[in-house]
Amino acid sequence: MSPQSGSTPAVVIRHLRLLPWTGPEGRPAHLVTDGTASPLSRLADEVEAQQIETATVIRELALSMIVDLENPTPDEVRFLVRRLCESITDLLRIAESRGDRIPPYDEPDTDEGSEYE
């Protein structure tokens, strides 16, 4: 349609999605999207699901190590802490990414006051 027909051009809303992996030099990697599914966004969803599953497995292994080992060696403790920290880092990145995609609440009108006053 031409601009003279009275229609306005479609507005494309861009979303910036934090991906569940880092880019070069360990910096955060982002995907610019219009909010629709794409091959890269589906891959990111799959990676997030795998990271969550891995964190669950590591948590279970950590719990069993703590319960089953009376005196874990320093190497075992270091290994466990390293894996748990990696999992927490992945989970925090997922939480941040998903939190960024949640639309903000509509702000209530300030003239009406709070229903809890």
Tens digit of each residue's pLDDT (9 = 90 or more) over 7-22: 666 656 678 899 999 9
Residue 83 is assigned to a structural domain of this protein: yes
Residue 109 is assigned to a structural domain of this protein: no
Cα–Cα distance for residue pair 33/17, rounded to 1 Å = 7
Residue 77 is assigned to a structural domain of this protein: yes
Task: Give the percent of the chain with pLDDT over 90.
Answer: 48
Cα–Cα distance for residue pair 90/38, rounded to 1 Å = 22
Cα–Cα distance for residue pair 113/117, rounded to 1 Å = 8
Residue 19 is assigned to a structural domain of this protein: yes
Tens digit of each residue's pLDDT (9 = 90 or more) over 53-86: 999 999 998 898 888 878 888 998 899 899 999 9
Residue 39 is assigned to a structural domain of this protein: yes
pLDDT band at 51 (very low <50, low <70, confident <90, very high): very high
Residue 88 is assigned to a structural domain of this protein: yes
What's the domain count of the chain? 1
Residue 30 CB-density burial (10 A; 0-12 exposed, 13-18 middle, 19+ buried): middle
Residue 27 is assigned to a structural domain of this protein: yes
Give the domain range for residue 47. Answer: 12-100
Task: Count the residues in the chain.
Answer: 117
Q: What is the pTM of this model?
A: 0.71
